Structure 1
Amino acid sequence: MKKIGIEELLTWAFTVELPKVSADRDWIAGLPSIGFASASGMLTETLALGTIIDRSPNAFGVIPCSIDTGEAHPDAMRVGDAVRGLGDMAFEIGEGWAPFPEWEDPHGVIAPEIASIAAGYCARDGRVNGRHIFTLVTTCAVLMKRPDWTADQPEVVVVTNNGNPAWFVKRYAKDRMGRSVPYEDNGYDVKRQRPVKGAYRKYRINGSIRAAVVGRIEWQLWQHALLTLRDALAGKLEGHDLLPFTPRMEPWRGSQNPAPISQAIESAA
């Protein structure tokens, strides 16, 4: 039996063997989980190759061969079924998820933005749909790429007014019910040419950090998916012997020892 790593196995299955499976609509309709609609998402990813594609993807999300090249290897079919099984799962981003330990945040504007982006990445129930993981895993296998987790420290700048650093102050007003309601007002006294008592400055991130946050979310989702697939396929292949796999959940920490999965991406029950 050929010894092989889980990444290499996925690339072999999705680029060499599974394209041999036709995109027969009746056959796809009888399959659970992913089906044709989600597989179409993979078509969009495949367009990144710069190739004009006029054929529908098969049940495994890959474009079938235009000529008959024989049956797909049984091991590849098992791999494809295992990846499709990810679509029946859901994943959660662990509470207190902090993916950028190397970033400084003295003004406290980066952490809330990370939390907001992470929340927006998930569905309304706070989970990442397993079908997204299916697309992520198949895309990485087909394009032979890994999610990019590298990111530079974002620039944080002071909020300005007419090109000058702005000052703000918190004041209070009464609403119709007589309750005290806080609001933010201009904190600079133009007449005296100085900030008023209690004035403060505000800061913002210069540019977007969405790509960086999504990159680290997808890296951890991908690593967890690889571990799940390796465990599901170990000892069940005819011609391949899977090598051990230890996920690197936080390679940005510069350590070979992964953090516990429960601290990063948790599989929902």
Structure 2
Amino acid sequence: MPQFANYPSLKGKTVFITGGAGGIGAETVAAFAAQGARVGFIDMDRPGSEALTTRLEGDVTFEICDLRDIDAVKAAFAALAERLGPATVLVNNAARDDRHDWKDVTAEYWDDRIATNLRHMFFAIQAVAPGMIEAGGGSIINLGSNSWWEAGGGFPVYATAKAAVHGLTRTMARDLGDHRIRVNTVVPGWIMTDRQKELWATPEALEKHRNRQCLPDLVEPVYVARMVVFLASDDAAMCSANNYMVEAGSI
């Protein structure tokens, strides 16, 4: 069993996470709760959100919100801040890697996928950053993907959105850096969430993927969460505008 670090700097901190009810998001909520942080997350899945908060110990709460609705996003963060206080950590996690053929993409589908995978990240930062400025600093962690680094096919709008996350991270790291707000991208590889296992993790696909990794083990969501926790902590105080890969050396 792996033994994970405890970060005293996270105890009592307020952390907001998007897409926290399942997958990488749920592992991230659990990881911060275990650090003694005050955690508020946003998700569309009410049963999943309720089940997670029931399972976890600590100060964990949620708001139900469709992240494609920017007014609803702002209202959800305001409600969380009322209960937990302003966040000094924001984790922009929410996304959906739905497969789609480039020949079938319409303008409406393009706009919906960009809204699902990218647009809300900027507006989450816009909503939360003023509180971080007032607090004297903070940490923003955006979740990217190594799918476009690997030139993966089958989801061109998703890959475009995830590539754009890196531009968002670097420009916001510059704009917010004077306020001691750090902005970084965590870049997962193929992470073995329940969704991936149910939809795409066939024995053949897994064997092919193992052959591309330097390490022989498949990557579980907890390892992405641990990188996020590190970047939120004071241990990462001089880390900003960079990519942090969690993909077992995938090539």
TM-score normalised by structure 1 residue count: 0.24
Tell which structure's C-alpha radius of gyration is larger: 1
Structure with the higher helix share, 1 or 2:
2
